[in-house]
């Protein structure tokens, strides 16, 4: 469920008409619903009731500080994958004690930053990284809380570009080696091994890969405990899939997911007090956002029609990058008897891949009409760019009948002003 509904024939975000936002700030823009963000966080947290659980929003899905803050106020932590995201999470008000640092290529600088703020946990993805953390922590006289991210060699059955849990992927420590690395890590100076982490991919529709990965994790826990070592945290990653509107089977619900967690990892031994960490991104932010654009032209051809809109792949790259489907709806509900045409909905960028929908059946739009691309709250604005020297897309947060521009459009002048001509080019 989300809070984008037609009211009196006009698409609204909670109680704000999307057309009113467009009239004030122009298009394209992303609009996020606070109520939907909260609802999704709450559904996830509620499903884990009775467990010692920490839900860390995967900031890479939507890293606007206002979005992070909406979740932080509900008690969410943050899962970050760079020093930049770490800085955002802090700025948004997430306490360091609720921040997890993931990622395969953390630099010395990023690791130092994480250690200096007293981060909750660094999820280590390789032995060289473990050595770097040991060196940096020792040099700074601190102890680094780490978990080993294991690669369970489980195919998540999702898109190849967002599968992370097989041995062909760059992520994590091979699960067959993890046991040995864990005991090695527990001897290293400056390191305190807290536990294990796993994340096998994104947009999972099938829960079985989760089950298999968590079972592998359970096996490892048993081996580690047998060595007399301790486990305090199990980070179970993110990846929970959401409906985009083109599903052939129903998307699983979080209650079923939580049940799998309980079954596989809920009871690992007497006297164990494990904190379970979760890193949902898409599940929280995806349905909480839409991308609103205006129709520039309707180009009707002999074989194909094109609806050319003022948003493009630089604003939302998911269709281009992952072949992702997004539902596109008119902001103003068409009246009775409007013609229906079949058209490709495309942006103005000089790339054939700049396409939002192919052969879409839609009420014939007119130039100036607003269209909303739904389910665009995750992996949308965060991947936006200024390609083709297009202004960087604006973002708006709605709460009830209020809205606020949480990232203004970055204009062409501002974009170009950061560039300069080399001194030797000035004379001629």
Ligand X SMILES: *Cc1c(COP(=O)(O)O)cnc(C)c1O
φ, ψ of residue 357 in degrees (nearest 5): -155, 145
User: 382-415 as b/e, with b when 16 or more CB fall inside 10 Å?
Assistant: bebebeeebbbbbbbbbbeeebeebbebeeeeee
Choice between 63 and 293, CB closer to ligand X? 63
Footprint on residues 397-426 left by ligand X (CB under 6 A): none
d(Cα 8, Cα 325) in Å, to the nearest integer?
27
DSSP track, 84-149: HHHHHHHHTT--GGGEEE--S---HHHHHHHHHTT-SEEEE-SHHHHHHHHHHHHHTT--EEEEEE
Q: Find the shortest distance in angstroms from Cβ 147 to ligand X.
A: 11
Q: Which stretch binds ligand X (CB under 6 A): 56-64, 65-73, 85-93, 388-396?
A: 56-64
d(Cα 260, Cα 257) in Å, to the nearest integer?
5
Q: Say if residues 291 and 395 touch (Cβ distance below 8 Å).
A: no
Q: Which of 145, 172, 237, 289 binds ligand X (CB under 6 A)?
A: 237
Per CB under 6 A, does 375 bind ligand X?
A: no
Q: Say if residues 14 and 357 touch (Cβ distance below 8 Å).
A: no
Helix (H) or strand (E) holding 424: none
Per CB under 6 A, does 79 bind ligand X?
A: yes
Q: Which of 190, 195, 280, 330 binds ligand X (CB under 6 A)?
A: 280
d(Cα 19, Cα 30) in Å, to the nearest integer?
12
Q: Is 350 a catalytic residue?
A: yes
Q: Which of 28, 145, 172, 238 binds ligand X (CB under 6 A)?
A: 238
Q: Which of 85, 125, 129, 279 binds ligand X (CB under 6 A)?
A: 279
Q: Find the shortest distance in angstroms from Cβ 283 to ligand X.
A: 6
Choice between 64 and 102, CB closer to ligand X? 102
Q: Which of 28, 152, 190, 281 binds ligand X (CB under 6 A)?
A: 281
Per CB under 6 A, does 60 bind ligand X?
A: yes
Choice between 129 and 279, CB closer to ligand X? 279
Q: Find the shortest distance in angstroms from Cβ 341 to ligand X.
A: 35
423: β partners: none
Choice between 324 and 346, CB closer to ligand X? 324
Strand pairing category for 173-174 and 10-13: unpaired
Q: Which stretch binds ligand X (CB under 6 A): 57-65, 130-138, 184-192, 364-372?
A: 57-65
**Identified catalytic residue from 249, 302, 350, 421:** 350
Q: Say if residues 394 and 409 touch (Cβ distance below 8 Å).
A: yes
d(Cα 335, Cα 372) in Å, to the nearest integer?
17
Per CB under 6 A, does 239 bind ligand X?
A: yes
Choice between 61 and 99, CB closer to ligand X? 61
Q: Say if residues 51 and 275 touch (Cβ distance below 8 Å).
A: no
Per CB under 6 A, does 3 bind ligand X?
A: no
Choice between 175 and 240, CB closer to ligand X? 240
Footprint on residues 101-130 left by ligand X (CB under 6 A): 102
Per CB under 6 A, does 376 bind ligand X?
A: no
299: β partners: 306
Per CB under 6 A, does 61 bind ligand X?
A: yes
Q: Say if residues 99 and 86 touch (Cβ distance below 8 Å).
A: yes
Footprint on residues 195-214 left by ligand X (CB under 6 A): 199, 202-203
Q: How many CB atoms lie within 10 A of CB 363?
A: 17
Q: Which stretch binds ligand X (CB under 6 A): 69-77, 276-284, 307-315, 330-338?
A: 276-284
Q: Say if residues 261 and 276 touch (Cβ distance below 8 Å).
A: yes
Q: Which stretch binds ligand X (CB under 6 A): 67-75, 206-214, 278-286, 359-367?
A: 278-286
Residues forming the active site:
350
Which stretches of the chain bind ligand X, using CB under 6 A?
58, 60-61, 79, 81, 102, 199, 202-203, 237-240, 279-283, 378
């Amino acid at each position: 469920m989300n809070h984008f509904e037609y009211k009196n024939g006009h698409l609204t975000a909670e109680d704000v008409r999307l057309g009113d936002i467009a009239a004030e700030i122009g298009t394209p823009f992303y609009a996020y619903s606070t109520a939907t963000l909260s609802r999704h966080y709450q559904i996830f947290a509620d499903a884990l009731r009775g467990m010692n659980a920490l839900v860390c929003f995967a900031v890479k899905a939507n890293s606007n500080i206002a979005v992070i803050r909406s979740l932080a106020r509900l008690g969410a932590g943050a899962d970050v994958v760079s020093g930049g995201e770490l800085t955002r999470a802090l700025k948004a008000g997430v306490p360091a004690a609720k921040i997890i640092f993931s990622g395969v290529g953390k630099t010395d600088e990023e690791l130092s930053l994480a250690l200096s703020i007293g981060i909750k946990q660094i999820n280590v993805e390789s032995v060289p990284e473990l050595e770097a953390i040991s060196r940096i922590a020792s040099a700074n006289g601190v102890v680094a809380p780490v978990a080993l991210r294991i690669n369970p060699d489980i195919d998540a059955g999702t898109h190849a570009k967002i599968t992370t849990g097989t041995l062909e992927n760059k992520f994590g420590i091979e699960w067959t080696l993890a046991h040995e690395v864990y005991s090695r890590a527990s001897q290293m100076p400056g390191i305190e091994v807290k536990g294990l982490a796993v994340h096998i991919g994104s947009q999972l529709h099938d829960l079985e890969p989760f089950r298999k990965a968590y079972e592998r994790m359970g096996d490892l826990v048993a081996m580690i405990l047998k060595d007399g070592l301790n486990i305090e945290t199990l980070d179970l990653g993110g990846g929970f899939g959401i409906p985009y509107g083109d599903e052939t089977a129903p998307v699983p619900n979080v209650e079923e997911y939580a049940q799998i967690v309980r079954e596989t990892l809920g009871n690992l031994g007497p006297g164990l007090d494990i904190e379970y960490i979760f890193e949902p991104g898409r599940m929280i932010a995806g349905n909480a956002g839409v991308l609103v654009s205006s129709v520039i032209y309707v180009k009707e051809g002999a074989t194909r029609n094109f609806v050319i809109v003022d948003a493009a792949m630089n604003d939302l790259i998911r269709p281009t990058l992952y072949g992702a489907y997004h539902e596109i709806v008119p902001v103003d509900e068409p009246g009775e008897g409007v013609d229906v045409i079949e058209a490709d909905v495309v942006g103005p960028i000089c790339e054939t891949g700049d396409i939002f929908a192919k052969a879409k059946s839609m009420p014939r739009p007119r130039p100036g009409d607003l269209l909303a691309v739904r389910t665009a709250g995750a992996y949308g604005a965060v991947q936006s760019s200024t390609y083709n020297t297009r202004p960087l897309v604006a973002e708006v947060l709605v709460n009830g009948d209020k809205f606020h521009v949480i990232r203004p459009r970055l204009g062409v002048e501002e974009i170009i002003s950061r560039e300069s001509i080399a001194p030797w080019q000035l004379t001629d």
